[in-house]
Structure 1
Amino acid sequence: MAAPAQTTAFDADTTVVPAAPGVYDATISDRWAVPRGPNGGYIAALMLRAMEAEVGDPDRAPRSLTLHYLRPPVPGEPAQIHVAVERAGRTLTSLSARLLQDGRPMVVVLAAFASDFPTAADYASPAPDVGPPPAQLHTVPPAPGVPEIALRTALQPVFGAMADTGVSLAAGGDEALVGGWLRLAEPRAADAAALAFYCDAWLPAPFALLKAPAPAPTIDLTIHFRTRLPHPGMDADAPVLARFSSTTSRGGFFEEDGSIWAPDGTLLAQSRQLALLIPGA
């Protein structure tokens, strides 16, 4: 199934095609590459597309997505995503999925999709008070040494040392905190797939402490979707506000917690990941 002619790069590169019951064909695009392989958020969006197709019920929205990255998928190569419905109850569907290349497992996933439940209490911490989004976001032009993924986002740092220095590279600050306004460079609605990507689209929080970038491959990533997406009233060209922080790096591993809000302050998603922090060459 070909992607529509006017589709964005993100939509084209997260397209999945049914191949057999519970099996979807996909191609791992090299347009979302970081130095050590495809970006984990891009892979999360691709896996989510296959799981959404398998659920096949728009009333059951994605609520939780957990990915374990076993080895980097090979960009430019085809892949298969095998999805299994582990249980489908009256309101909640639990699924598992595996991304395979040449029969080798690359990524394993667990997810929950559900309708809305009645609640005993509604509450939420307020979004950071940073004012409205800027009129324009920063984009990176193609240049030697610039990773492909850097060309795919538009952003404006707000949090941490990167905001203070006005750059989005390693800043040598005193707090593992990064983030700001963020959207895809090609504007599109902030649906669940886009939010999955955004949860791993910013430079890792420890980069705010470093003098130079270091490899930081993700071991596992969990995303909790906190509202139905796209958020009503949010324009396709509107950015989200993303904040990522880390408290501990030890034994080569660090954790990172993320929160993403709509411009009106609605919490859209939360994330937590464990990743490696490898000394640079």
Structure 2
Amino acid sequence: MTTHPFDQALALEAESDDLYRGTTSEHYWNMISPFGGTTVATLLQAILSHPRRLGDPLAMTVNFAGPLQKGTFRIRVHPVRTGRSTQHWQMDIRQGEDAEPAITGTAVFAVRRDAWSDTESTMPDVAAPEERARYASPANVPFLQMYDVRYVDRDPLSGGRESDTQCWISDVPPRALDFPSIAAHCDTFIPRLFVRKGGPTPISTVTLTINFHADSAALRKVEGHHTFAMAKANAFNGGYYDQEGKVWSRNGILLATTHQMVWYRDQSL
């Protein structure tokens, strides 16, 4: 069986309990560095592989301090405190000896307990992915070829006063959903500034947070390989804007919510 390109991108070699070595993927390359969703997923994969890991991912925040270059990198993940139900992690990615980290972050893993539960955010009733055409992005970057994105509400580059979009997302080729792929889907949205302006402009994610609402038991109930995603911005201010999103499984399980802050260059000035 051929290994999926996403799993190849996440492949890590353990150098010690806390240190892993990986290599950037040509398949998931963006303009000048790897697709941020793959970087986040690789950090998550390192913790999932760690011998001291407790439970499932609950939340993670990744800060993009600088671009990763093509080639090898080292991930350091360290559990700084473990309780009965939660475990707190620090993590970073570096390239080169004695280099400053290009990526920093924290994560929380947890064991969920039996408790009263309810989900207020519900997936809207929308057309199935088979009823919409795959979006053909005008941007010629490799990672976009690795995702089948189908918008159900609008042309994402139509411009206007609102930045909301709704779409189906699937890996190419199709791949079963797990925590790393859900994390990557949380960064697959077209940038909100592109939606407002009707076209691309220089941007860079500064920090990205993901809250996971499904544990391993919930993932076993997921149907299909698509996620349904909604995203919007709240404010564009002083060269930075936010982007928040929600991600469901095809059968309506809320998988994750996400928020990021993005730097942008105003080319109209």
How does the TM-score come out when normalised to structure 2? 0.91
User: Equivalent residue of 1:117, what SS?
Assistant: coil
In the alignment, structure 1 segments of 5+ residues that lack a partner are none
Q: Which residue of 2 aligns with 1:111?
A: 107
Q: Which residue of 2 aligns with 1:84?
A: 78
Q: Which residue of 2 aligns with 1:242?
A: 229
CA contact (8 A) 2:90 2:106 kept: yes
Q: Structure 1 31/279 Cα, relative in aligned 2: closer, same or farther at 3 Å?
A: farther
Aligned-residue offset at 1:125 = 2.2
- Distance of 2:65 and 2:171 partners within structure 1: 27
User: Equivalent residue of 2:162, what SS?
Assistant: coil
The one-letter amino acid paired with 1:35 is M
Q: Which residue of 1 aligns with 2:88?
A: 94
User: Equivalent residue of 1:268, what SS?
Assistant: strand
The one-letter amino acid paired with 1:81 is I
1:210 to 189, 197, 208: 197
- Distance of 1:241 and 1:260 partners within structure 2: 6
The one-letter amino acid paired with 1:208 is V
Q: Structure 1 35/69 Cα, relative in aligned 2: closer, same or farther at 3 Å?
A: same
Does 2:248 correspond to 1:261? yes
- Distance of 1:200 and 1:62 partners within structure 2: 17
Q: Which residue of 2 aligns with 1:158?
A: 152
Q: Which residue of 2 aligns with 1:194?
A: 181
The one-letter amino acid paired with 2:150 is Q
Q: Structure 1 100/28 Cα, relative in aligned 2: closer, same or farther at 3 Å?
A: same
Aligned-residue offset at 1:38 = 1.5
CA contact (8 A) 1:55 1:93 kept: no
In the alignment, structure 2 segments of 5+ residues that lack a partner are none
Aligned-residue offset at 1:139 = 6.2
**What does the per-residue CA deviation read over 1:103-141, in whole Å, with 9 as the maximum and x for residues that have no partner?**
331101100111112434533222122143325751659
User: Equivalent residue of 2:27, what SS?
Assistant: helix
Aligned positions of 1:1-281 closer than 5 A: 6-54=2-50, 57=53, 60-75=55-70, 77-102=71-96, 103-134=99-130, 138=134, 140=136, 146-159=140-153, 163=154, 165=155, 168=156, 170-229=157-216, 231-236=219-224, 238-279=225-266
The one-letter amino acid paired with 1:48 is L
Aligned-residue offset at 1:54 = 1.6
The one-letter amino acid paired with 2:244 is D
**What does the per-residue CA deviation read over 1:194-222, in whole Å, with 9 as the maximum and x for residues that have no partner?**
01100111211222111321122100000
User: Equivalent residue of 1:20, what SS?
Assistant: coil
User: Equivalent residue of 2:45, what SS?
Assistant: helix
Structure 1 runs of 4+ with >6 Å offset: none
CA contact (8 A) 1:31 1:149 kept: yes
Q: Structure 1 119/234 Cα, relative in aligned 2: closer, same or farther at 3 Å?
A: closer
- Distance of 2:68 and 2:168 partners within structure 1: 29
CA contact (8 A) 2:223 2:250 kept: no
- Distance of 2:133 and 2:255 partners within structure 1: 20
- Distance of 1:182 and 1:266 partners within structure 2: 15
CA contact (8 A) 1:139 1:153 kept: no
**What does the per-residue CA deviation read over 1:51-100, in whole Å, with 9 as the maximum and x for residues that have no partner?**
1112555x70001010011001112x100001111011122111111101
How does the TM-score come out when normalised to structure 1? 0.87
Note the aligned Cα RMSD (angstroms).
2.2
- Distance of 1:32 and 1:280 partners within structure 2: 27
